A and B are shown apart, each in its own frame.
Chain A
C-alpha cells in the first residue's frame, strides 16, 4: 500500500518531466507527438543563437543576483537574529520580509518606478537591462536569504561562540572558525533559493528589463505567442541534465569533504 502511494506521488511529480524529456527526442515537429527518435531539436537548440544568448544572460544574472542576495540577506538575517533590541526592530523585520508576500507585479512595478526615478535624479542606471534585472532579483532574493539565515542563526547555540572566545579566539576568528561553518549550509541554501528564483522569474524581469536585457524566461514567453516548437522540450531536457549534474557534483563534494576531513584528523591525533 505504502509502495503504491510512493509510486503515485513520484509519478505525480515526475511524469510530466519524463514526458518532456521523452518528447525532446522526438523527430516530430509538433511538441506533443512522437515521431521516432531524433536529436534534431537538440541540434536546432545548439544553433539557436538568440536562445543561447538569453540563457547565458539569465545564468549570469542569476549568479550575480544570488551572490548579492546572499550577502545582503545574510546581513539582514544577522541583524534580526543577533541585535536583540533596537528602535524599529519589528518594523525592520516586517519590511525585510515584505517581498515574500507582495505580489510580484507590485514588486516589479515599484522597482521599475524606483529605477526610473533614480535615472532622473542621479542619471543612473542609464538604461534598463541586465543590471536592473540583476538588482531587482537580488532585492527579491535577499528577502528569502534573510529568512533562511535568520532562522539558522537563532537556532545556533551561543555557547559555541562563547566557548571559542574563552579558548582565545578574537571575534573575527570566532566568526570565521565557528559561526561561518555553522551557518554555511543556510548560506548555500539561501544562495540556491535566490539563484532559482532569479532563473525562472519572468514577471519582475518583464517590468525592469530593457531592450538589451531579454532573459531566457522572457524569451520563452514571447515565443509562446508564436507557438511552441519541440526545441523547448530539448531546452527543458538540457536544463534538467545540467541541474542533475550540478546536484550530483555538489553531493559528491559534500561527501568527500566530510569523510576526508574525518580521516585526516584521525591521522594527526
Chain B
C-alpha cells in the first residue's frame, strides 16, 4: 500500500465563507473513504478541489506524489461521478461510456470491447443504444459510474452517488458500488451526508465540519469512540453529558443529575463531556438507583421505530436523554418515573 492522495492544509474561500479550512488528509491506493458532513461542511468543495474544478487558495493536492497545482481537470488521474450524473444527453449510453476512451485516442475495436465489458459489469449491455433520458434513475447512476470506471483511474470521486435514488434502491446500489470498487481496485472518495451509507460502505470515514476535518477513522472506531461532540451527535445522535471531574475518577453531571465513572484519567476539577449512545442505556420502570452510571427521570415520549422504541426521558437535573428500547421489551406509558442504567464502557470521553 502506498499513498495515492495527499491533501496538505488545503483552504478554499468563496467570498466571505471559508469552505475549506486547512484540511489535511491522506489516503492509500484502493482505499474507500467516505467524506461525511452536513450541508455547507465543504465536502463537495473538497471533491471539486481534488478533481481540479476549484483551485485552493492555500495548501497542496498531491496525487501519486505529484503536486496538482495548475494541472487542469482533463490531465488529472481521477474520474468523477457527478451528483446529477451529468450524462451527455445527446449521446447514447455507449457513446457516454466511450467518451473518455475516445479522448485517449484508443483504437475503435479496443473502445468497443472495453465499453461492452464495462456495461456488462453493471448489466446494461442491452441499453447501449439508448439515450440517458430513456433510462431509469438507477440505470443512469450505473452508467455514470461505469463512465468514470472505464478509464481505470486510480482515483474515483463520487459526489452523493446514491443521493438521487429512492430508499429501496439505495442499499442494493451501495453494495454494488462497494463490489465494483473491490473488483476494479480503484480508490474511491465518496461524499455523503448519510451516516449509515458512510459506515456501511467505507474503509474509513472522514467527518467534516465547517471546512475542517474533525475525525477520520474506520467506521467502527468512529462510532464507538467519536473524538468530538459533533461526531458523536452526527453519528447515531448520541447523548452528550457534561460535568466536572472529581478526584475519584468520577464525573459529576449536574444537568443530568447523575455521576459517571470514567475509564480515562481526567485532571480533577476540569470540565469534561461524555457521549452516551441511546442503545446502550437500559430502561426499567422501578428499582434502586445505583451510585454511578445511572439516573432517574420521567418518561416523556415514546416513538415506535420498528426495530425498537425511541424514548425521551427528562432527567432530574433537567437534561433530556434519548433511550432506545428493543422491540421485545415492554415500554411503560409516558409520564411514569423510570430508572436508567448503563455499563461503564458506554461512557465515551469526548476530546472537546
Contact = CB atoms under 8 A, between A and B. Distances in A.
A83 interface: no
A245 interface: no
Contacts of A160: 86, 88-89
Interface in A135-191: 157, 159-160, 162-170, 173, 177-178, 181-182
B74 A265 contact: no
B111 to A, nearest CB: 9
A168 B100 contact: yes
A269 B128 contact: yes
Given A162-B73, A168-B74, A169-B103, A269 B93 contact: yes
Nearest to A161: B86
A164 B128 contact: no
The range of chain B's interface size is 35 or more
B94 interface: yes
A262 interface: yes
Contact of A168 (B51, B87, B93, B151): B151
B103 A269 contact: no
A178 B99 CA distance: 10
A164 B99 CA distance: 8
B99 A265 contact: no
Interface string A222-261: 0000000000000000000000000000000000000001
- What secondary structure prevails in chain A residues at the interface with B? helix
B86 A162 contact: yes
Contacts of A269: 92-94, 112, 115-116, 119, 125, 128-129
A266 B74 contact: no
B95 interface: yes
Contacts of B129: 262-263, 265-267, 269
The range of chain A's interface size is 20 to 34
B112 A166 contact: no
B80 interface: yes
Contact of B100 (A167, A261, A262): A167
B277 interface: no
A164 B88 contact: yes
B79 A265 contact: no
Interface in B210-269: none
B128 A165 contact: no
B288 interface: no
A165 B53 CA distance: 9
Given A159-B84, A162-B86, A168-B151, A268 B74 contact: no
A269 to B, nearest CB: 3
Contacts of B130: 262
A157 to B, nearest CB: 7
Contact of B92 (A157, A166, A177, A262): A262
B90 A182 contact: yes
Contacts of B90: 181-182
Given A163-B80, A163-B82, A167-B147, A268 B128 contact: yes
Given A173-B103, A269-B119, A163 B86 contact: yes
A160 B88 CA distance: 6
A222 B105 CA distance: 61
A182 B91 CA distance: 10
Given A166-B74, A166-B80, A167-B99, A265 B104 contact: no
18 contacts: A160-B88, A162-B82, A162-B86, A163-B86, A163-B87, A163-B88, A166-B80, A167-B100, A168-B75, A178-B88, A261-B92, A262-B129, A267-B129, A268-B94, A268-B112, A269-B92, A269-B115, A269-B116
Interface of B: 51, 53, 72-75, 78-80, 82, 84, 86-90, 92-95, 99-100, 103-104, 112, 115-116, 119, 125, 128-131, 147-148, 151
For the complex of A and B, list the 4 residue pairs with the smallest distance between their C-beta atoms, beginning with the closest.
Answer: A269-B128, A266-B129, A167-B100, A168-B103
Given A163-B86, A164-B88, A167-B147, 6 more contacts: A162-B80, A163-B87, A167-B79, A168-B151, A170-B74, A182-B90
